[in-house]
Amino acid sequence: MRSEDLAKLLGLSRSTISRVINNYPDIPQSTREKVWKAIEEYNYAPNASAQKLAGVKNKMIAIILLDVKDNEEPHHVKSTDDTLIHDNPFFSPIVSAVSDQANKMDYYVLISIAYSKEDLKKVQSIFYQKIIDGAIFVGTQESENELIFNLIEQKHFIAMIDTSEVYNKNHNAIYINADNFEGSVKAVSYLLELGHTSIGIITGNLNKLSAKERLAGFKTTLMQHGIEMTKDAIYHGDFTESSGYEGVKYFFRGPNPPTAIFVSNDTMAVGAYKAVSELGLRIPKDISIIGFDNSFFSSYLNPPLTTVEISFSDIAKKATTLLIESIEKEQQRGIVEKVNATLIKRESCQAIKSDDETK
Amino acid sequence: MRSEDLAKLLGLSRSTISRVINNYPDIPQSTREKVWKAIEEYNYAPNASAQKLAGVKNKMIAIILLDVKDNEEPHHVKSTDDTLIHDNPFFSPIVSAVSDQANKMDYYVLISIAYSKEDLKKVQSIFYQKIIDGAIFVGTQESENELIFNLIEQKHFIAMIDTSEVYNKNHNAIYINADNFEGSVKAVSYLLELGHTSIGIITGNLNKLSAKERLAGFKTTLMQHGIEMTKDAIYHGDFTESSGYEGVKYFFRGPNPPTAIFVSNDTMAVGAYKAVSELGLRIPKDISIIGFDNSFFSSYLNPPLTTVEISFSDIAKKATTLLIESIEKEQQRGIVEKVNATLIKRESCQAIKSDDETK
DNA sequence: CTGAAAGCGCTTACAG
DNA sequence: CTGAAAGCGCTTACAG
């Protein structure tokens, strides 16, 4: 059914049909009703492509999840690519929040997961083909930045989650991040309050902003408290369960393991728990563990994991809202926002017994 | 940049540009190369709307997650709608598998979560507007069936996950489900092998096919083994953690609790674990618990949960592949497939001590 | 081998 | 108030 057909049926012209659909004034109520009734009856809806070609706005954005592995380092991860990104605790909350918020603002959302440079090329082309009005990128690494930077320069609307605004010299994009640094400061400060001074960190994939910032918060806090940190105190993980496992094994390889470990996300904390248990040790008696993300499973762990909560939904909602607003205003502008991180105390950390107390 | 512009730049006509892009024969290699070079240089890509209007295929499908609550029954769930669907363990694997498989087959995917009848109306209109070529619906309830049935009758391409094919009289749609019945038979048979005869079930939301089939498998297995089942043995949950919690409380309200509980998904098993622990009981010593789904957190529970594995990725991949194939063939046809369910034995079930053994 | 022209289904000034 | 017509950016028979 085309507007032409509907028009003939009603003895009107396409122009009139179009005008009632687009809510033009100066149309008699009677015509309006007649047309709407027919639209309902015949399930007519204007062809979106024709509309767009005629100048009507798209109202479509994309959410692009980046899972590009561009380093050749061996990964301690499951070998099949498919199992990777959706294990990520942020996947569901971010995707669903973007979808919900966009739908609320009357936008459609395209979803795409990019595993390689070629995938990113395809993403680029959905801009050039004018399929979308803008996009939200999640978790870009530096190497992908060039391509996104070009898109921004070409006046496309872009929001980024988990990407530092300092990568790009210009600021005409939207950057929404968790306050990873602050969260990490809170976590480490808590460990210090509990009397720990020998603290290790298992980092995330340091190509990701969140991993970098969490490490920075760790270092800064220790430094501010005058605690010297050896190189030994850092294990480079990659946000996967198995790297958490390896991290613990690394820290316990020698005679002087730390008394607490700051694990850069909860998924790695799961691996850490396993390693601790294999070593015949107990959490928190023998080692305190603190995580990050407050993934929903973290409260089910045994013992329940102390962690830092960040709201992926809030981040995604904010990114979506700001992106669509700037699309609607047709005005590209730079926005940088951080979303709070809060410490969730559970049972995986305990105070160090000082010499005073033990005697 | 339009094809016209590119053509002028090269001293050619739009027709020629179009022909090299669409890989027509009989174009000299030199022209071909010249055009491709310019395309790269100017980041030209044909406007998708214009292409579609001119008759080129869409190559876009939608994945629609249904989370419509049409019953007024009190829910034991968190009050905000937002927190619901993405807590679902199938969300990530299904969405990412659909996206990956579609991308592999060169299709874009639109994502939408429908919470209400109005949302479903919007979904309907993306078909009428010819934005998509087909869609995958996940988790429809009977009340939503009418609308989807209409779409199928109107010759739209549709695949459904977790919907029974018997709801619709015609079969011109694709139905992909886990073999919930068989999985449930395996779970209950295992409990019987362990010597349990007093077994309770916490069901899922019985508006969902999976919940119904899991209950059916439970009943059938008991019946086949000549075990009588009282009404008391069924607690009506809704797949949420809190209903698992309530279920256990229900079973332990009286003097003769069951010795094993079949919990219809792992999320409810988490709630069940909590309730058992609050009651001061131990799993599996005092009560055996078996779950369903093999959600990734189920192995982290304490004790690790015995459950039934179904591959959401496989289901989603199959649905996507079949949907796109039938779109490409322009031939709507009915397909019904089931994906295997397998028992994963862990540590939450133990054999009942018979009187013989205890003496 | 390649260009001119029709047509896809809309919207929107322009007339009346 | 409403219709005829141009135009959006492509593709694809039709000619040559």
* DSSP structural state of residue B351: P
In whole angstroms, what separates CA A98 from the centre of its chain?
10
pLDDT of residue A169: 63
CB contact under 8 A, B86 and A93: yes
Preceding peptide of B303 cis, ω within 30°? yes
* B49, B88, B111: residue with CB nearest A49: B49
Per-residue pLDDT tens listing for chain A (359 residues): 899 999 999 999 999 999 999 989 888 998 999 999 999 999 999 999 999 999 998 899 999 999 865 443 333 333 333 335 556 788 999 999 999 999 999 999 999 999 988 899 999 999 999 999 999 999 888 778 888 988 999 999 999 999 888 766 667 899 999 999 999 999 999 999 999 999 999 999 998 899 999 999 999 999 999 998 888 899 999 998 899 999 999 999 999 999 999 999 999 999 999 999 999 999 999 999 999 999 888 888 889 999 999 999 999 999 999 999 999 998 888 999 999 999 999 999 999 875 444 43
* Start-to-end CA span in chain B (Å): 87
pLDDT of residue B301: 86
Of B132 and B142, the one with more pLDDT: B132
pLDDT of residue A79: 35
For residue B356, pLDDT beyond 50: no
Is residue A194 within 8 A of residue A228, CB to CB? The reply is no
Q: Is B13 left (phi over 0), alpha (psi -120 to 50) or beta?
A: beta
Q: State the DSSP string of B63-127.
A: EEEE------S---S-S-GGGTGGGSTTHHHHHHHHHHHHHHTT-EEEEEEE-SHHHHHHHHHHH
Tell me if residue B30 falls in helix, strand or coil: helix
Q: Secondary structure of chain A in the HEC alphabet?
A: CCHHHHHHHHCCCHHHHHHHHCCCCCCCHHHHHHHHHHHHHHCCCCCHHHHHHCCCCCCEEEEEEECCCCCCCCCCCCCCCHHHHCCCCCHHHHHHHHHHHHHHCCCEEEEEEECCHHHHHHHHHHHHCCCCCEEEEECCCHHHHHHHHHHHHCCCEEEEECCCHHHCCCCCCEEEEECHHHHHHHHHHHHHHCCCCCEEEEECCCCCHHHHHHHHHHHHHHHHCCCCCCHHHEEECCCCHHHHHHHHHHHCCCCCCCCEEEECCHHHHHHHHHHHHHCCCCCCCCCEEECCECCHHHHCCCCCCEEEEECHHHHHHHHHHHHHHHHHCCCCCCEEEEECEEEECCCCCCCCCCHHHHC
Cα(B21)–Cα(B97) distance, rounded to whole angstroms? Answer: 30
Using the CB atom, is residue B170 less than 7 Å from strand D? no
Give contacts of B 190-249 with A, CB under 8 A: none
pLDDT of residue A168: 64
For residue B348, pLDDT beyond 90: yes
For residue B69, pLDDT beyond 80: no
Å: B126 CA to D11 C1'? 24
Tell me if residue B261 falls in helix, strand or coil: strand
For residue B90, pLDDT beyond 80: yes
CB atoms within 10 A of CB B77: 17
For residue B350, pLDDT beyond 90: yes
The token duo for B274 is 């909590």
Domains of chain A: 3-53 (1.10.260.40), 60-179+312-340 (3.40.50.2300), 180-310+344-358 (3.40.50.2300)
Q: Which site among A61, A83, A115, A129 would you substitute to test the B interface, given the most B Cβ atoms closer than 10 Å to its Cβ?
A: A129
pLDDT of residue B333: 87
Cα(A356)–Cα(B61) distance, rounded to whole angstroms? Answer: 67
The token duo for B68 is 């419509």
Among candidate residues B159, B249, B166, the one with its CA nearest the CA of residue B202: B249
pLDDT of residue A70: 45
CB contact under 8 A, B128 and A43: yes
pLDDT of residue A359: 36
* A50, A131, A154: residue with CB nearest B53: A50
Q: Using a CB-CB distance cutoff of 8 angstroms, which residues of chain B are in contact with residue A49? A: 48-50, 52-53, 130
Cα(B345)–Cα(B272) distance, rounded to whole angstroms? Answer: 18
Give contacts of A 92-151 with B, CB under 8 A: 92-93, 95-97, 99-100, 103, 108-113, 119, 122, 124-126, 128-131
Using the CB atom, is residue B14 less than 7 Å from strand C? yes
For residue B354, pLDDT beyond 70: no
